[in-house]
Amino acid sequence: MADIFLIIVICILAIALIFINFYLLVLYSHPDDRDWGMSLFCKILVILGFTLSWAQVLLLPLDVSNSRGQGAGIDMPTFWQAIYIAVLVFSVILIPLLHICMNQMKIKQQVKGFVMHCILNYARLLLSV
């Protein structure tokens, strides 16, 4: 059975990361880009991307704790798979879609641009492995 305290700390940390990333986005955004109406989807994806990058770093101590027998027996391979699948979805699907939305191309160009961005991201992914 997993330790309830550790699960509560993980949930609180995830919520705190979202709030901290929201604060950083508001703090460092350009004065011309402070309007949330037009680019709400983009800003939500930026916040979630920051949260994913922090989560990868902050899961390492939890993994070490579980591997040394001091942890609560949390299934860490499932955590890592979920994080890596989310990063893959972000880098292959959502980031190219975000890039296209920000450029506001026409419909035919959007499909062509989306396919091209996907191909380039797949190539980048294969080269990094």
Residue 117's φ and ψ, nearest 5 degrees, are: -65, -40
Instruction: Tell the burial category of 70 from Cβ atoms under 10 Å away from its Cβ (0-12, 13-18, 19+).
Output: exposed
Other C-beta atoms lying within 10 Å of the C-beta of residue 102:
12
Report, as an integer, the average pLDDT of 94-116. 70
Q: Is the pLDDT of residue 121 over 70?
A: yes
How far apart CA 79 and CA 68 sit, in angstroms, is 17
| pLDDT (tens digit per residue) in 21-46 | 989 888 888 777 766 666 777 788 88
The answer for residues whose C-beta is within 8 angstroms of residue 95's C-beta and 6 or more apart is 45, 49, 117, 121
Does this model's pTM top 0.75? My answer is: no
97, 114 contact by CB (below 8 A) = yes
Q: What pLDDT does 72 receive?
A: 63
Sequence ranges of the domains in the chain? 4-128
Model pLDDT, residue 110: 65
Q: How confident is the model at residue 108 (pLDDT cuts 50, 70, 90)?
A: low
For the chain, give the mean pLDDT.
79
Question: Strand ranges (DSSP E) for 3-119?
Answer: none
Average pLDDT over residues 81-86: 91
pLDDT-derived band at 123, boundaries 50, 70, 90: confident
Which pLDDT band holds residue 15 (cuts at 50, 70, 90)? very high
